[in-house]
Structure 1
Amino acid sequence: MGGMSPLSAALLPGTERALLHRIAVAQAEGRAPSLVGGVVREGEPVWVGARTCVDGHAADGLTQYRIGSITKVFTAVLVMRLRDEGLIGLDDPLEKHLPGTGVGEVTIAQLLGHSAGLAAETPAPWWERTPGTDRPELADVLGERPLVHPTGRLHHYSNPGYTLLGSLIEAVRGVSWAQALRTEILEPLGLDRTTTEPVAPAAGGWAVHPWADVMLPEPAQDLGLMTAAGQLWSTVADLQRFAVFLAEGDDRVLRHSSVEEMRVPSVPPAAGDPAGGYGLGLQLLRKDGRTFFGHTGSLPGFVACLWVSAEDGLAAVCLANATSGPLVGAVAADLLQIVAEAEPRIPEPWKPLPAAEVDQELLALTGPWYWGTYPYGLRIGADRSVSLEPLKGAGRRASFRALPDGGWIGLDGYYQGETLRVVRRPDGSVSHLDLGSFVFTREPYEQGDAVPGGVDQAGWRGL
């Protein structure tokens, strides 16, 4: 999302009024005791607004709300830290590090992306409204039939799956999940209002009657083993800072490439949810041409949402203290889109590459190349990166990162993970580009070029 610049200062008054109007409508129509929203632009919080039904008392960006399953993102970051440190592998079976769970060979990646086939919930009674002491062991969380789908075949959201990840963190770290969270994420990022138990000022959780304007307090249970799936309390201000981390990374917690990896879809979206998807601990949403990542959350008495659009340099948070009613996921997306459409991101000025990065051999590779008869253009970027773009029609566009050996690795699309390399003739001149066995030549089917299958000796001809 980038550092703040003069162009990313305070929002325009008209934009702020549109944001306030959106959360006012959400609080009124959703019949929430209180609702708070916040926006981040280019790495800086630029707006917080609140609506409440209590005269003389307004919730604000420092008021705690329970954030439910947004907790899962914190758990996923802790797991990714273990991976980056070489203590676990994402493809490791859980049993390698946490034996005796009874869930077979499900992998850590499958647990992160909800494709392990585990049940969505624990056995009765409903874990969100009962104390964690009712489920003192993992066997109590998993029940007698923990797997309800074939492992790795489809997305099936699982709260017990994140309980297993919380226990994995404790087993590998040798400390409690809460202690690992505090020392590895909360303290480095300055999230001092994110806690496992409420710390005043904190909103009370309420159930609002669906057919009458009356309310009932909801219990706030300590979830015990389910803590890693949904225990946390936080504020708009803290979640705004956390959103910046999810967009940019922070080497004190998790490098940028690893938080980017968390956004990559791990399995296809669930049936009936073509706009959604799930990465490694992050929900994904495609809405009105924009791609959001983040997470929603709910527990009795509370609903929450955090969405980030890296392309727009924006993030939005919405929290409310009602069991149901305000559609905070839609509200957070709307807050983000209001700013994106009213005040579109101003691009950085174009500037040439630094002189030290201009490589004449690399520069000579730019321009048109042909895969068969399909024309592509090769462009170079910063840090010796390159991109291949079709010059007409639909084609396989891709970006590539330079490798130490002189080749490149694909970063997206069809060629993600595939290797691009320059193949030279004995005299050192460039013969062709090899991309995962595909040959790109300077001319289409030129005689003498290294075209698989050869070229007809008669050459090009008419009818």
Structure 2
Amino acid sequence: MTSTTELLPETRRALLHRVATGQVEGRTPSLVGAVMRDGAPVWVRGRGLVDGQVPDGDTQYRIGSLTKTFVAVLVMRLRDEGLLDLGDPLGEHLPGTGVGGVTVLHLLSHTSGLASETPGPWWERTPGELRPQIGDLLGDDPVRHPAGRRFHYSNPGYALLGALVERLRGDSWHEVLRREVLEPLGMRRTTPSPRAPHARGWAVHPWADAVLAEEVQQTGRMAPAGELWSTAEDLCRWAAFLLEGDERVLAAGTLAEMREPATCQAEDAGRYAYGLGLESFRAGGRLLYGHGGSMPGFLASLRVCLDAGLAGIVLANATSGPAAGAIAADLIEIVDEREPRIPEPWAPLPDVEHDLLALTGLWHWGTTSYGLRLTGEGGLELTPLSAGGSGRGSRFRARGDGTWIGLDNYYTGEVLRVVRAADGTVSHLDLGSFVLTREPYHPADVVPGGVDPQGWHGQPR
């Protein structure tokens, strides 16, 4: 995977400085940072040593819970194929778990209420053979909260999703992943077990510059929660996929659904949320998506910024220390601030439907003013014009039947339609039953409840 855009020398030096200070301050034996822009890596550098060599974009590291993003994509493929619905109880497809009432959506969004970890021993540090059966992942009392009520991160929940993939595909989850996702995307260095060149995991003494080797365990049925190994270059490919989608794997619309926040912890509201296998973060005024990961001896982070077309990736071989997520976000910020994305040239639409053009302009919901403008491919955008920008704006996509579907904010999923009078002229807009008129409370307008026949006047009396 080669770079298509050369960054400026000052930008490259700032990136190197951030990765170098992250490796030193985090006291990690090695660290690799990468930046992906518009589908390709534009910068990859390693610091420290792996087997006596400076690591590069082809050096494997264990990526921990970044694995969950891959499992979630496999589940959404099953949904898009009609093999399951997100509202299906788990027991409908995977019987015998003891928690068959939780839904696929609950598991994807960490709202199942299941325990964060398996019953002892510590699954990340013990052989997977200790849990040969699905029931061994949960124990006798796995429920911590009512399903659907709150965000509660659950590693066993994603192990159940991996088992669900195996049940419906009739093959191991990692073989399904290789066949359906990794091969189409060219991610040949993302594997369930390490392949040279790869980093070894280390623990760093908290009070001395000494290290201790961390053992690598194959986690068996818990593997879908954090087993994979990958490289910075492969994760650039994954970031490019998360940014744009790939019809061979998953449509862009489904990825947008996965990014949409499903839940968050109350104390993190506005700063962190969890969608369907993807985390979202607020950092430096930017909205970032991705996931973090950790396993004994390793830390990983992938952050994607849709608006900037950028991704930051960090891989390190220390149990704790380097702030992988913060470094990844900083890599995005460095490039975006120094070399902001050049917008595509503006050009007029190739064709304009005059009936649509006639809908544009000023509309009113009561006394709240809105501007309606025509966007590409027959889309519409409703923007509040009142003082202070109060009002509910939204973008709408044409549905092909003369109506439009809301894409964001309050009107997401709501239908906008044009209501015409008997003579064919436009009477008003109906937005989820709300009426928008050309004039505020004009007696001739169709306003639910009618309009005061006195009309507008001065001092209320």
- Residue 82 of structure 1, aligned match among 73, 78, 83: 78
**Are 2:403 and 1:370 equivalent residues in the alignment?**
no
Distance 2:23 2:232 in 1: 16
Distance in 2 (CA, whole Å) between partners of 1:28 and 1:104 is 47
Task: Give deviations 1:35-58, integer Å, cap 9, x for gaps.
Answer: 000001121210001101469510
Name which of 269, 276, 282 aligns with 2:278. Answer: 282
Distance 2:142 2:282 in 1: 31
SS at 1:87 equivalent: coil
Of the candidates 382, 393, 396, which is equivalent to residue 388 of structure 1? 382
Corresponding position of 2:41: 45
Return the offset for 1:100: 1.6
What amino acid is the match of 2:380? V
Q: Give 3-state SS (helix, strand or coil) of 1:36's partner.
A: strand
State the secondary structure of the residue aligned to 1:404.
Answer: coil
Paired with 1:332 and 1:47, the residues of 2 have a C-alpha distance of 13
2:179 matches 1:159: no
Q: TM-score, normalised by structure 1?
A: 0.97
Give the one of 223, 239, 253 matched to 1:257. 253
Aligned length: 456
Whether 1:141 and 2:137 are equivalent positions in the alignment is: yes
**Cα shift at 1:267:** 1.4
Is 1:269–1:278's contact at 8 Å kept on the other side of the alignment?
no
The 8 Å contact of residues 69 and 229 in structure 1, kept in 2 or not, is answered as: yes
Find the aligned partners of 2:374 and 2:295 in 1 and give their Cα distance: 49
User: Is 1:175 matched with 2:171?
Assistant: yes
**Residues in 2 aligned to 1:272 and 1:20: alpha-carbon distance in whole angstroms:** 31
In the alignment, structure 1 residue 437 sits paired with structure 2 residue 433: yes
After TM superposition, give the deviation of residue 104 of structure 1 in Å: 3.6
What is the aligned counterpart of 2:452 among 453, 456, 462? 456
Q: Whole-Å Cα distance in 2 between the matches of residues 377 and 343 of structure 1? A: 33
Distance 1:61 1:99 in 2: 42
Residue of structure 2 in register with 1:9 after alignment? 5
| Stretches of structure 1 lacking an aligned partner (at least 5 in a row) | none
* CA offset digits 1:140-190 (Å, max 9, x no partner): 111111110111001000000000000000111111101100000000000
Shift of residue 80, structure 1, vs aligned partner: 0.4
Decide whether the 8 Å contact of 2:114 with 2:144 is kept in 1: yes
Counterparts of 2:412 and 2:369, CA distance in 1: 20
Distance in 1 of aligned mates of 2:14 and 2:133: 49
Which of the residues 337, 358, 368 maps onto 1:341?
337
Give, as a single letter, the amino acid of the residue that structure 2 aligns with 1:373: T
- Secondary structure in 2 matching 1:449: coil
Map 1:48-127 to 2 at 5 A: 48-53=44-49, 57-127=53-123
Q: What is the deviation of 1:273? A: 5.8
Identity of aligned residues (%): 62
1:215-294 aligned within 5 A: 215-272=211-268, 274-294=270-290
Contact persistence 1:156–1:270 (CA under 8 A)? no
What corresponds to 2:125 in structure 1?
129
Residue 317 of structure 1 is matched in structure 2 by 313
SS at 2:290 equivalent: strand
Specify the code of the residue in structure 2 equivalent to 1:240.
C
In 1, the alpha carbon distance for the partners of 2:246 and 2:330 equals 27
Q: Is the 8 A contact 2:49 2:55 kept in 1?
A: no
1:227 Cα offset (Å): 0.9
Q: Whole-Å Cα distance in 1 between the matches of residues 427 and 10 of structure 2?
A: 58
